[in-house]
Amino acid sequence: MSRILVVEDEQHIADGLRFNLEAEGHDVTVAPDGEQALASILDDRRAYDVIVLDVMLPGRDGFAVASTLRAAGQFVPILMLTARGRPEDVLQGFEAGADDYLPKPFELAILFARINGLLRRRLWNEAQTSGNHTTTADTYTFAGRTLDFTAMEVHARGTSYRLTRMECELLRYLVTHPRQPVSRGTLLENVWGLHEETDTRAIDNFIVRLRKYLEDQPDSPRFLQTVRGVGYKFAPEGK
């Protein structure tokens, strides 16, 4: 049984979700706004396996809730469920630290599949960390830094950092194309699966975060280099 927090101010949708998720055998808590959700997670230290988060909430919106959680070091999987489905909204959601994004109206089966995907990922992670890495772990090592794509972690400079799914995917793409400049458009297409003309600057924020994990001096990066006028380049041997 998994504990799911549904943050939704629309009474009807919250009730419908609770009914269906409980019928699927989950333990469901509903928070009607962002403050109560944050209070439940950060102050009461209640552990949830997945958070289903609406964006247009009274007071603090879903984007703010997600980034507050991430800033506080809470890495519980977040599925954003919202009426705002434009590409820039989706990107903003991932930037805020969401792991998945589903626009309303949604199909119940798809919602279940996505929630189960997030739960499964969590289980696999736990199996990985407890199971002594017997399987061939999906890792990559360079310059004393280890990227663990299965556990979604970075080990660098004696510290470990948890990655969100999109940070992980972005890093994986860069690492599999070393020493070649990659444009922001290419990244958006291959990592996010977006083909529309969007504000590709959104990627810059991800790079800034990744540099904080990997670089000794994030302001003068050696491994994740900016290629002026093009995009980025991953250089495993440094500059």
Partner 1 sequence: MTRRQKAIAFFVALCVLLVAGAISLNVGWIVITAEGASLRVLIFGIITFGLIIAGLIIYTVFLVLEIRRNEEHDTFINAVTHELKTPIASIRLYLETLQSRTLSDEQRREFYDVMLADADRLHRTVDQVLKAGAASQKPKVIARAPVDIGLLTQECVDLALQRHHLQASAIVVESHDDGPLMVRGDADELRSVLTNLLDNAVKYSSESVRVIVGVAAPSPDTVWVRVQDRGVGIPRKQLKRIFRRFYRVQTRGLKQVKGTGLGLYIVRSIARAHGGRVFAQSEGEGRGATFTLELPRLAS
Binding interface with partner 1 (CB under 8 A) = 10, 12-13, 15-17, 19-20, 23, 33, 56-59, 61, 83-84, 104-108
d(CA 151, CA 187): 22
Q: In angstroms, what is the minimal distance from the CB of 88 to partner 1?
A: 11
d(CA 63, CA 88): 12
Residue 5 or residue 57: which is nearer to partner 1 going by CB?
57
- How is residue 159 written in tokens? 């510290």
**Could you give the angle at which helices 202-214 and 87-96 cross, rounded to 10 degrees?**
20
Residue 10 or residue 204: which is nearer to partner 1 going by CB?
10
Distance of CA 8 to the CA centre of its chain: 20
Q: In angstroms, what is the minimal distance from the CB of 16 to partner 1?
A: 4
Q: In angstroms, what is the minimal distance from the CB of 15 to partner 1?
A: 7
Q: In angstroms, what is the minimal distance from the CB of 196 to partner 1?
A: 17
Residue 83 or residue 227: which is nearer to partner 1 going by CB?
83
- Name the nearest CA neighbour of 49 among 27, 31, 34: 27
Residue 96 or residue 154: which is nearer to partner 1 going by CB?
96
Residues 102/94, Cβ–Cβ less than 8 Å: no
Q: In angstroms, what is the minimal distance from the CB of 51 to partner 1?
A: 18
Q: What is the 3-state secondary structure (H, E, C) of 2-40?
A: CEEEEECCCHHHHHHHHHHHHHCCCEEEEECCHHHHHHH
Residue 35 or residue 140: which is nearer to partner 1 going by CB?
35
β-strands 78-82, 139-142: how paired? Answer: unpaired
Q: In angstroms, what is the minimal distance from the CB of 206 to partner 1?
A: 20
Residue 168 or residue 203: which is nearer to partner 1 going by CB?
203
